[in-house]
Structure 1
């Protein structure tokens, strides 16, 4: 199993998970043109995809999902709440011509060589989920866009071999930054985004000797820096540059193998 990112941040998110002949895209916050260009960097095309999985309906995660699925005839798996959010009257999203499959939080599904667990998370969306992927004994997790760590979330991700973990903001930078108070409260709330200290708390609860790759993701360009995020994780016990890296908005990160 291996994973890569096409980009991570408030301007667009997309993550690739591959195993054998199976290639899954988690979210797509980019236009078709941009997605094709970013996949081409990895020697891939959207035509190579098996399916698209959606975490929630916010634009930086779903902007390109339906157009991409429609053009390349790809099935889209999403929760009932997410489907409801994007298909209501007046929505900008067109679901016509797209094969939609409902996934249920906590209920596993099989996509080719990958076993997929949708994990419910606290976020300000209709029915948001994140994902744990399993292939044999290997486990890779995508965990971004949540405002707090529930016992269920910690348990679901504790034994990952690879993990994309949200480090959205530094508390001091958010407090002193340019956001209006209402947005600061939203971002920093229990259904907003994880800050560096929360991410560090999650790292403390991981089975650290097992973890091969930790990728700090969804960093705010206004309210965080890679140095701040890395420092928080180092304080939590992971300061090995061979295992810890930061995903960027422009380039994401290249393939990481899970051995």
Structure 2
């Protein structure tokens, strides 16, 4: 199985997940053209994408959805509440009913050889989810846009060999920054976003010997930067495992660039 971040951050998110027989996208939060260029750069044809799995209806996760779905007749997956919210948005345009597939949190389904499990997340959206993917005995886990984590989230992501996890903000940067008070409270709340510190703690809870890659994702442009997110998690992980060599499995997804392709075989 493979994972590659096409774009990641508060301004737009799109991730490729694939196996030998299946090619999927999680979210389409940048322009259709940028998604096409990103896929072409990893030798994936946009017309070969067999599904776009949507986490929730915020603009940084669906901006290019309508264009891709219409151009390539690509199936769309999401909770009923998420899809209905998307269909009410004029910016997305008309999407054919035959492309819409409703998912239910905690109910697995298959797309070719990949078993997908949606699971609920704590975010200020209409029944948002994230996803895990399993094929050929391997597991990929993804979780962004969650204001908190708990034993439920941990149970869904456990035993993932590739983890893509939110590290949205540094609390100190957020508190002294220029955001209005209400927005700071939203981000810090239980239905907001995961801080670097909480991301690090979650990763320690999920660590196991077969964990091969950790990618930090959905960084805020105003309240975080790559080196700070990386260092916060690195220090926590080193203290937890007492193994500094584990730094090699940690990376940060690029905001406006395609990141490295990660593979488990």
What is the TM-score with the length of structure 1 in the denominator? Answer: 0.95
The answer (yes or no) to whether the contact 2:69–2:95 under 8 Å persists in 1 is no
The answer (yes or no) to whether the contact 1:203–1:236 under 8 Å persists in 2 is no
> Which of 248, 253, 256 is the equivalent residue of 1:250?
256
Classify the secondary structure of the residue corresponding to 2:18: strand
Larger helix proportion of the pair: 2
Residues 182-217 of structure 1 deviation map (CA, whole Å, 9 limit, x = unaligned): 111111111000001110110111133221000011
* Uncovered stretches (5+) of structure 2, i.e. residues with no partner: 239-243
Tell me the CA shift for residue 5 of structure 1: 1.0
Counterparts of 2:132 and 2:94, CA distance in 1: 26
Q: Tell whether 2:117 aligns with 1:117.
A: yes
Determine the structure 1 residue equivalent to 2:32: 32
The answer (yes or no) to whether the contact 2:65–2:92 under 8 Å persists in 1 is no
Q: How many residues align?
A: 258
Residues 9-39 of structure 1 deviation map (CA, whole Å, 9 limit, x = unaligned): 1111100111012000000012221211121
Classify the secondary structure of the residue corresponding to 2:237: coil
**TM alignment of 1:1-259, pairs within 5 A:** 1-88=1-88, 91-97=90-96, 99-238=99-238, 240-259=246-265
Counterparts of 1:92 and 1:213, CA distance in 2: 36
Tell me the CA shift for residue 229 of structure 1: 1.3
Q: Which moved more, 1:186-195 or 1:34-43?
A: 34-43
The answer (yes or no) to whether the contact 1:162–1:214 under 8 Å persists in 2 is yes
CA 205–231 in structure 1, closer or farther in 2 if over 3 Å, else same: same
The answer (yes or no) to whether the contact 2:234–2:247 under 8 Å persists in 1 is no
Tell me the CA shift for residue 158 of structure 1: 2.0
The answer (yes or no) to whether the contact 1:123–1:146 under 8 Å persists in 2 is yes
Tell me the CA shift for residue 91 of structure 1: 4.1
Residues 115-160 of structure 1 deviation map (CA, whole Å, 9 limit, x = unaligned): 0000100000001000000113211011111100022101111211
Classify the secondary structure of the residue corresponding to 1:253: coil
Counterparts of 2:230 and 2:208, CA distance in 1: 15
Counterparts of 1:95 and 1:106, CA distance in 2: 29
The answer (yes or no) to whether the contact 1:42–1:254 under 8 Å persists in 2 is no
Q: Which moved more, 1:213-222 or 1:97-106?
A: 97-106
Aligned-pair RMSD on alpha carbons? 1.4
Classify the secondary structure of the residue corresponding to 1:10: coil
What is the TM-score with the length of structure 2 in the denominator? Answer: 0.93
Counterparts of 1:120 and 1:135, CA distance in 2: 21
CA 216–44 in structure 1, closer or farther in 2 if over 3 Å, else same: same
* Uncovered stretches (5+) of structure 1, i.e. residues with no partner: none
